[in-house]
Amino acid sequence: MTDKIRLRTAIQSHLDHGRSRPSAALLAAVVAAGIAAPDMAADQQIGARAFAAEVDAIGAPAPVGFADIVARVKPAVVGVRVKIEEAPPSDEDQQEDTFPPGSPFDQFFHHFGIPIPRHPAPQSGVALGSGFFISGDGYVVTNDHVVTRGKSFEVTADSGKTYPAKVIGTDPQTDLALVKVDAAGTDFPYVRLAPEIPRVGEWVLVVGNPFGLGGTVTAGIVSARGRDIGAGPYDDFIQIDAPVNKGNSGGPTFNVKGEVIGVNTAIFSPSGGSVGVAFDIPAETVKLIIGQLKEKGHVTRGWIGVEIQPVTPAIAEALGLKNARGALVAELEPNSPAAKAGIEDGDVVTSVNDESVADSRDLARKIAAMAPGTATKIGIFRNGQEKTITVTLGVFPRTQVEAEEHKSTREAPVLGLSLAPARAVPGAGDRGVVITAVDPNGRAAESGLQVGDIIVEIGRHAVNTPAEVRKRVDEAHAKSNRAVLLRIKRGDTMSFVAVPSS
Q: Which residues are catalytic?
A: 145, 175, 249
85: left (phi over 0), alpha (psi -120 to 50) or beta: alpha
> In whole angstroms, what is the distance from residue 174 CA to residue 73 CA?
24
Helix axes 42-58, 24-33, angle to 10 degrees: 90
ω before 397 within 30° of 0 (cis)?
yes
> In whole angstroms, what is the distance from residue 303 CA to residue 370 CA?
9
Cα torsion through 87, 93, 95, 100, rounded to 10: -100
- For residue 132, report the phi and psi dihedrals to the nearest 5 degrees: -155, 145
**Cβ–Cβ under 8 Å, residues 260 and 283:** yes
> In whole angstroms, what is the distance from residue 350 CA to residue 122 CA?
50
**Cβ–Cβ under 8 Å, residues 482 and 469:** no
How far is residue 427 from each of residues 191, 231, 234, 457, measured CA to CA in Å? Answer: 31, 7, 13, 19
Neighbours of 395 (CB within 10 A): 16
- The SS3 of residue 342 is coil
Helix (H), strand (E), coil (C) string for 454-484: EEEEECCEECCCHHHHHHHHHHHHHCCCCEE
- For residue 168, report the phi and psi dihedrals to the nearest 5 degrees: -85, -40
CA-wise closest residue to 316 among 358, 348, 362: 348
Terminal Cα-to-Cα distance of the chain (whole angstroms): 99
The enclosing H or E element of 61 equals none
**Cβ–Cβ under 8 Å, residues 176 and 170:** yes
Cα Rg of the chain, angstroms: 31
- For residue 296, report the phi and psi dihedrals to the nearest 5 degrees: -120, -15
Neighbours of 461 (CB within 10 A): 11
Burial class for 491, CB neighbours closer than 10 Å (0-12, 13-18, 19+): exposed
